[in-house]
A = this chain, B = another copy of it.
Amino acid sequence: MNKKKPTTRAVTIDEVASQAGVSIKTVSRVMNREAAVRDSTRQRVLAAAKELNYKPNPAARSLASNRSYFVAMVYDNPSASYLLDFQTGALDACRERGYSLLLQPCDYQSPQLVEELITLVTERGHPGLVLTPPLSDLTEVVEQLDRLGVKFVRVAPVDPEHPSPYVAVDDRAAAYDLTRYLIDMGHKRIGFIKGHPDHGASQARYEGFRGALRDRGLGLDKSLVVQGFFSFESGEQCGRTLLARKDHPSAIFASNDEMAAGVLHIAHDLGIDVPSRLSVAGFDDTPVSRYTWPSLTTIRQPVEAMAKSIVSTLITVMRDERKKDQSNGTVFPYELVIRGSTGPASR
Contact = CB atoms under 8 A, between A and B. Distances in A.
A295 B295 CA distance: 15
B290 A293 contact: no
A91 B115 contact: no
Interface string A278-296: 0000000001101111110
Given A261-B291, A288-B291, A118 B84 contact: no
A47 interface: no
Interface in A78-103: 80-81, 83-85, 87-88, 91, 100-103
A248 interface: no
A264 interface: yes
Given A87-B103, A291-B288, A59 B10 contact: no
Which of A61, A105, A258: most chain B CB closer than 10 A?
Answer: A105
A126 B10 CA distance: 10
State the main secondary structure of chain A at its contact with B: helix
Which of A58, A59, A261: most chain B CB closer than 10 A?
Answer: A59
B288 A122 contact: no
Interface in A111-164: 114-115, 118-119, 121-126, 144, 147-150
Interface stretch (A1-9, A169-177, A311-319): A1-9
Contact of A88 (B62, B84, B105, B294): B105
Given A83-B83, A124-B58, A292-B291, A102 B105 contact: no
Nearest to A124: B58
A97 to B, nearest CB: 14
A115 B121 CA distance: 32
A232 interface: yes
A240 to B, nearest CB: 15
A25 interface: no
Contact of A10 (B7, B55, B102, B123): B123
A329 to B, nearest CB: 22
A36 interface: no
A57 interface: yes
A261 B264 CA distance: 15
A122 B88 contact: no
A8 B55 contact: no
B293 A264 contact: yes
A103 B295 CA distance: 32
Nearest to A85: B80
A91 B73 CA distance: 13
Contacts of A101: 102-103
Contacts of A147: 6
Contacts of A53: 119
Contacts of A81: 80-81
A121 B295 CA distance: 43
Contact of A80 (B58, B59, B83, B115): B83
Q: 4 nearest interchain CB pairs? A: A5-B149, A6-B118, A80-B84, A80-B80
28 contacts: A5-B148, A6-B147, A6-B149, A8-B118, A8-B121, A8-B148, A8-B149, A8-B150, A10-B123, A55-B122, A58-B124, A59-B59, A59-B63, A59-B125, A80-B287, A81-B81, A83-B83, A87-B103, A91-B103, A91-B105, A232-B290, A232-B291, A258-B291, A264-B293, A265-B291, A268-B293, A287-B288, A293-B293
